[in-house]
Amino acid sequence: MNSQLCFKSLYESCKCPLHTHLNKQLPIVDSHCHLDDFSNNHPYFRSVSASNIREVFLVSNKHKFHNWDTVFPLPYQNIHVYETFGMHPKFIPERDIHLTLAHLENIFCDYLHPVSGRHIVGVGETGLDETSKSPLEHQKLAFERQVILARNLNLPLVLHCRGYPLFSLMLDCIESILPPSHPIQWHCVKSDSHLEVIDRFISIFSNSVVSLNGSSTHIRDIDQDKVFKKWIRNHPTLINHLVLETDCPWLCPKNLPVLEFNPCTGIFIVSKWVEDVLRAPGKNASTIIRIANDNARRTFGLPI
């Protein structure tokens, strides 16, 4: 599939014979990435900054407490960075967890990051993770504090979950704390996610969104993959709750060299993958990106 996508069209006008070009002037919104971890990708940023046809909006998750106060400036007019702050379940301090959570809460005293000046548009990512070295009780404590913080600030909440039994625990927690109208992004929904819980999540929270990324393009279990694609294809309202993300620099799509992976190529490939799964008239890659952009704009208040 990737060989049929014109990556050149991400940055400049192109009329080559490849099957898929991305529409000109269509913004790319990466609704979940980690700028702290790919800010040294100079070729990518040079390509975007030289583009006269594309704006890029990055929702950068600052999910490691030791990076909360770091800043990576991007002085490019067509790259717009918005930040969320949270304590990821795999990055919970061994000591002084309450003190670190208090520091996190202080960051939200203003809706601008005190160091970078960037707009803060969400709390998280936060959640539960079976591969974390932190005890589950510590994870639950940090998670609940961040859910309450999102409620008190009326900011979107960004969820992370790894481990099939933990999906229900997380949904029970947010349902007990947040009103049904609260905006929530369930990050990295993929074939091994607890899809019944995701269904409940979408039905309970009217302003919820679910994120698809490059992990969706990998097949680890054939039967599981078939169920996941059928779920996407047949879900009556999923397209109204869909956002696209890369989790860049993690979760590179299938058949894409890691050195070519960035928010633009990642979003383009995932949009084409969704198009191929849906097989619906009028739902090509550009249309899917446009729909996902609008859902991200609504969730995070982005000025697209």
Binding-site residue numbers are 32, 34, 125, 160, 187, 247
Q: Which of 184, 199, 104 is nearest to 151 (CA)?
A: 184
Three-state DSSP class for residue 32: strand
Query: Residue 59 in 3-state DSSP?
Result: strand
How far from the centroid of its chain's Cα atoms is residue 177's Cα? 22
Handedness of CA 207, 208, 212, 213 (dihedral sign): positive
CA distances from 268 to 57, 151, 192 (A): 14, 33, 23
Closest by CA position to 292, among listed 58, 81, 28, 80: 28
Binding residues for a divalent metal cation: 32, 34, 125, 160, 187, 247
CA distance 213 to 252: 8
Give me the sign of the Cα torsion angle 129, 268, 205, 228: negative
